Amino acid sequence: MYVLHMNVGEGETSYAKNSLLQKKIISVGSSMMEAAIFNILLEVKPKSMGVADLGCSSGPNALTAVSRIIHMVDAASQKMGLPVPELRVSLNDLPGNDFNAVFKSLPELYKNLKEDYGIEDCYVWGVPGSFYGRLFPGHSLHFVHSSSSLHWLSQVPLDLNPRVGTHLNKDKIYISKSSSMSVIKAYQQQFHDDFSLFLRSRAKEMVSKGRMVLSFMGRRSPNPCADEACYQWELLARALMSLALDGLVEKEKIDSFNAPYYAPSPEEVKCQVENEGSFVVVDVKSFGIEWDAGDWTNCKISSGNRVSKTIRAVVEPMFENHFHLGAEMMDELFRRYAKIIDDCFLETKFNYINLVISLVRKD
**Exposure of 112 in the CB half-sphere (CA atoms within 13 A):** 12
Residue 109: inside a domain: yes
Amino acid residing at 27? S
Task: Count up the domains in the chain and report the number.
Answer: 1
Residue 207: inside a domain: yes
Whole-structure pTM value: 0.91
Query: CATH code at 312?
Result: 3.40.50.150
pLDDT tens over the chain, length 363 residues: 454 555 555 566 555 555 566 777 777 889 999 999 999 999 999 999 999 999 998 877 789 899 999 999 999 999 999 999 999 999 999 998 889 989 999 999 999 999 999 999 999 999 999 999 999 999 999 999 999 999 999 999 988 876 645 788 989 999 999 999 999 999 999 999 999 999 999 999 999 999 999 999 999 999 999 999 999 999 999 999 999 999 999 999 999 999 999 999 999 999 999 999 999 999 999 999 888 765 555 667 788 998 999 888 888 888 988 888 888 999 999 999 999 999 988 777 788 999 999 999 998
Residue 9: inside a domain: no
Residue 319: inside a domain: yes
Residue 3: inside a domain: no
The domain of 256 spans 15-361
Residue 10: inside a domain: no
Residue 162: inside a domain: yes
Residue 29: inside a domain: yes
